[in-house]
Amino acid sequence: MRNGRGCSLVFVLTVVLASVEPDEAMAYIDPSAGGLLVQLLLGGLAGIGVVVKLYWGKITGYFRKGNNDET
């Protein structure tokens, strides 16, 4: 959890994903969503995998939605 590779992965993940997220502050948010995801990350490599999967789902969902809009 505290090793260098884990931290690097988190950093790279954050920087890459930050570019696809809007930088708008919240209109309405689940106040605990961010806290839950941080805990998943801190839960070890398996948790990091879950977070990556969740974001991958968001990215593919975004493109799928884009394709559907075009057709």
Binding region for another protein (CB under 8 A) = 1-2, 10, 14, 17-18, 21-44, 46-47, 50-51, 54-55, 58
Please report, to the nearest 10 degrees, the dihedral formed by the alpha carbons of residues 41, 19, 30, 10 taken in order. Answer: 10
Nearer to another protein, 30 or 71 (CB): 30
| Cα–Cα separations (whole angstroms), residue 64 to 44, 67, 69 | 30, 5, 9
Minimum CB distance to another protein, residue 70 (Å): 21
Minimum CB distance to another protein, residue 26 (Å): 5
Nearer to another protein, 50 or 68 (CB): 50
Nearer to another protein, 10 or 70 (CB): 10
**Residue 34 carries which side chain, given as an amino acid letter?**
G
